[in-house]
Amino acid sequence: VENLGLTQAMSDRLDDRVALLDGFDRFRREAERAAEMSAVDEFNRRALDLLTSSNVRRAFDLSEEDPKLRDRYGRHAWGQRALLARRLVEAGSSFVTMVMENPYQSGVESDPEGVYNWDSHAVNCHLFKDFLNRAPIYDRAVTALVEDLYNRGLDRKVLLIVTGEFGRTPKISTQKGTRTGVDQPGRDHWPNAMSILVAGGGMQTGQVVGSTTPKGETPLNRPLTPNDLWATMYRHLGIDPETTFPDRSGRPMPILPYGEPITELL
């Protein structure tokens, strides 16, 4: 077929343009890599400053707190971690994660059968007995933290999120417990619906957003997604939820592929 081939002059020009494009791409990749390393170095420096800060070291010294306040939080892992979280924020930490596994390290200090974590399968624990022990510990630690944040005027600065990974099955199952060796009630994983607690952050609190069917099986009104929660958190942190970052090929990738701030909280 005539005229489908390139003349020598056009072929040389095309080769030059491809070489120029490769040069620009290489320069862009090197510039991006340098910027990434600079950002990493800055994050490392800030993390090191935080770890070596005298304020942070003092934050871990809970003996500086009023014993009555420590009692208000509860003299167990959950209560003292919640108190430590508040102290870390005051010392300059911008993001604090508190793990709520077993509230007592030995697991037997509050009840001969122990207090299990939140993975309340029947094989792991007796659901009703475990909650009778665990719920008051949870309530005390979380309410003390919320109360303390508001009393100290931190309720607009600090956004508190209390959440797990997913919900639990609406239907209670029965299975032989690994520790007890007898049939006992429990609840398995349930990703279809769950509830979380939001406090502080200058949010419009004191309300319930959304609902489920009567048995807690699926969302009924105002269904929300984890990305909606992330968008709300990003907004509190001053981050535009529609922000994008270039991927390795240079294409813009959103920090959130979908999700909107929860307007009822704003």
Q: What is the pLDDT of residue 233?
A: 94
What torsion, rounded to 10 degrees, do the Cα atoms 103, 211, 95, 98 define? Answer: 10
Convert the pLDDT of each residue in 187-222 to its tens digit.
Answer: 999 999 999 999 999 999 999 999 999 999 999 999
Say what the pTM is. 0.77
Question: Which pair of tokens denotes residue 197?
Answer: 């607690």
Convert the pLDDT of each residue in 88-137 to its tens digit.
Answer: 999 888 899 999 988 876 444 444 455 667 888 999 889 998 888 889 99
Question: Which pair of tokens denotes residue 201?
Answer: 């952050």
Residues 6+ apart with CB under 8 A from 83: 62, 65, 69, 70, 73, 144, 145, 148
